[in-house]
Structure 1
């Protein structure tokens, strides 16, 4: 039987002692969605994730187009293509670093709105690019905006969502990022690369407009001593027919206990460093599964393997599967729990990466690889490996395995990693720690994305997929040993539980 979160006593664990516990009916009213406005506030915020997902995979159709470009100022070599694909992650790392300051200085909402400035500027630079430097700077700026929103949006959503639907709403950042990627793949079939950048401006402008009318996080407002404004924000989010005073008192009590920012000495305390370590390692493992280089070079990967369908069509199909999988995760996260989905997700990704690696190593190769988009040099490889035209059912393996990988990632390690980061981090360190997690995540993504093409050229396309498969096994072990189950628990309950030091929570 699962231990209750509340009820233990001790010097560091005395949760809301001055107030009698509310009745089950009161708890249900607080934990259940009563007002559609919280959906509107969530949608306004996660438009930033839509732009992030759109910008992340922008290179998938653009790199092949620029490698075929007749304009010498825009023609990309393989080395330049690797920088164009990977510099986004450097910008995202810088955005995560800035979030460590802006998240607590400006607040969650204003930080999200601020991200629109570099995002809009980056898209404008790429749309009007006349040289490589404009492309790289545009990618860096959109990456900066993506890293900033990646740290701020999950925290904002988790702080405004009722516990009963926090899992579903917590999946919306990843859902919108996936929808943004799918939109890019679909538009890439219709629009030239400059107009793809122009189209990226639209969600940024809509986000700014909608967020202007949304409240800030009640927890952030309380941490700044703006109690009346925080109460109004909570009442707006929950609805006028709901008594929010009990929930407000919970949040207020928790904020008062943590009125000062965490010091480095306090950061070494188990109740602070343990959740930060869990969140940080989850973000690192999430990237090491290979998601970013696979998405960035998706069309190029298909160009370099014997595939039945045109690579552009394959990329769009994979984007659609990714969107469907995140929808499934959003609907089941508050029913099945976080850990179950993480186990299933890692197992599926392991099978998919292993299958891709084995197919590339032993399967057929294209008769004439695309010289502009192919990932491997033509001289590489086992000369005895059979050459085959992209025909027959066997050539569906790369598409099916990639679909399986994306499905596994999108139903577990994609959305849940973002959600758990915002759930387990202590309030006093939430702004800084979330920025630290995003910084480490995107530095890892940069290393993987920048080294992907050189590793493929030197050792072969199958080697990265074998490495990603091994990381998926490590993720399975980490989930079983270290990841807590947070389903149905308020942020204050989760934080109080980490303070007890009881290891039963991590089982």
Structure 2
């Protein structure tokens, strides 16, 4: 089971790597020293940063068909094709269209994996480990992001693209030896194959009959679902919850912050160099998703979402105030030719004046680190996990594709507008929007999101069908809200 999960989440590593590819390379394309045919203005840079999200939305739409036609595993493997072609286009780019097309294709691959991998993992995982394993996609995506930031310190932008083509190829090789999910096999009527796969996933001593029976019953109950039935609250409510979660997750501003991280730090006048700030944020993000993986099945989904929303709110509020009150830095003062001689007291005074400015220069970095930490321990991994848990089993393939499409269309619009908002109003307006959205995340979690810790997929679906809470027991006191 762990090997199958690892093989699949290599696609998420590639997703995290490709998402932030623009962060260290945009400054090179906007530089006067850039190759003339690759030099970008503000509009072209906005498209290069945001077109990835447009590709991811297209990949999500494709996943709606691929998930049910070919199965989750083959969908994940097929994402390697646009990913590899996209990286090769960017690595060998001689014109802007090659950069934009390559970035779009890597986004298509990211959209397919984002819709398929969480569902595949949820269907092969045991319910007691589904929370921890369900956070693995986010962990590996963050690790991919950190790898890109680290390589960006020393590797030229063309070789960054070439290096990105390695993980998807490795993923295809490993997944070729991994099984399809037992649920997929049972839906195709291949019961004996499904039993062998489940025994391979759970171990030779595991009694597969109970789990196989539960899966078969849920499949049989869904065999004749019509479109009109999908419009009933039993099915529409979890779909709406998942779609709104994905919308709010993107509206917190996480994608433009990650995509434009180095330019944001440059505008924030952070004391350290932006490229080092980005690497620090990547490391903190990796730590926070590891914390979320440990706490997912202990603290519960809702508690982590509350903590995540509050940390994001406080940090985005701080960034809003700092960006609103920080004046434009003054230009260099002309030298005072008459003051050729000065006392040590004047040097000491200058040092005291510089100290608060240095400390203030760390506030945007600290606040961004807290924001990323909060996001990566809650609204990052948990929304993907909850999407794979609460979506109706009968429509999981199409519904997950819909969620990813909505998510990345939102990300595209926000990421494209972000550059223009910053150029027109500075960072204040975007940060203010993100602060308001964090409040909405708190309210949505309180009212709409159920607690699914320790429950099987069949139990979760039965909750939406009946509207009743789960029975409280000694071993797991968590309940779903009525």
Deviation (angstroms), 1:368: 7.2
Cα deviation per residue 1:316-367 (whole Å; 9 max; x = unaligned)?
0000000000000000000000000000000000011111111111125455
Deviation (angstroms), 1:501: 2.3
Match of 1:425 among 391, 397, 401: 391
* Structure 1 residues 367 and 119: alpha-carbon distance in aligned structure 2, compared to 1, 3 A threshold: farther
Deviation (angstroms), 1:390: 10
Cα deviation per residue 1:407-460 (whole Å; 9 max; x = unaligned)?
000000000000000000111110000000000000000000000011122222
Correspondence 1:300 to 2:263: yes
Correspondence 1:445 to 2:411: yes
Q: Looking at CA atoms only, which structure, 1 or 2, has the larger radius of gyration?
A: 2
Correspondence 1:343 to 2:306: yes
* Structure 1 residues 389 and 102: alpha-carbon distance in aligned structure 2, compared to 1, 3 A threshold: farther
Cα deviation per residue 1:378-417 (whole Å; 9 max; x = unaligned)?
xxxxxxxxx9999511110010000000000000000000
Unmatched segments (≥5 aa) in structure 2: 333-352, 470-478
Alignment-derived partner of residue 11 in structure 1: none
1:279-290 matches, within 5 Å, as 279-290=242-253
Unmatched segments (≥5 aa) in structure 1: 1-37, 370-386
Secondary structure of the 2:410 match is helix
Alpha-carbon distance in structure 2 between the residues aligned to 1:229 and 1:366: 68
8 Å Cα contact 1:90-1:446 kept in structure 2: yes
Secondary structure of the 2:297 match is helix
Alignment-derived partner of residue 237 in structure 1: 201
TM-score (norm 2): 0.92
Provide the aligned length of Structure 1 versus Structure 2.
452
Match of 1:218 among 158, 161, 182: 182
Alignment-derived partner of residue 473 in structure 1: 439
8 Å Cα contact 1:54-1:183 kept in structure 2: yes
**Aligned Cα RMSD in Å?**
1.6
Alignment-derived partner of residue 68 in structure 2: 104
Match of 1:118 among 78, 82, 97: 82
8 Å Cα contact 1:481-1:506 kept in structure 2: no
Alpha-carbon distance in structure 1 between the residues aligned to 2:356 and 2:58: 41
Alignment-derived partner of residue 103 in structure 2: 139
Alignment-derived partner of residue 94 in structure 2: 130
Deviation (angstroms), 1:65: 1.1
Deviation (angstroms), 1:497: 1.3
Alpha-carbon distance in structure 2 between the residues aligned to 1:92 and 1:365: 37
* Structure 1 residues 361 and 488: alpha-carbon distance in aligned structure 2, compared to 1, 3 A threshold: same
Tell which deviates more after alignment, 391-400 or 463-472: 391-400
Tell which deviates more after alignment, 226-235 or 466-475: 226-235
Secondary structure of the 1:335 match is coil
Alignment-derived partner of residue 472 in structure 2: none
Alignment-derived partner of residue 149 in structure 1: 113
Cα deviation per residue 1:94-144 (whole Å; 9 max; x = unaligned)?
000011100000000000000000000000000000011000000000000
Correspondence 1:250 to 2:214: yes
* Structure 1 residues 84 and 114: alpha-carbon distance in aligned structure 2, compared to 1, 3 A threshold: same
TM-score (norm 1): 0.87
* Structure 1 residues 199 and 368: alpha-carbon distance in aligned structure 2, compared to 1, 3 A threshold: farther
Secondary structure of the 1:392 match is helix
Alpha-carbon distance in structure 1 between the residues aligned to 2:279 and 2:131: 27
Tell which deviates more after alignment, 71-80 or 222-231: 222-231
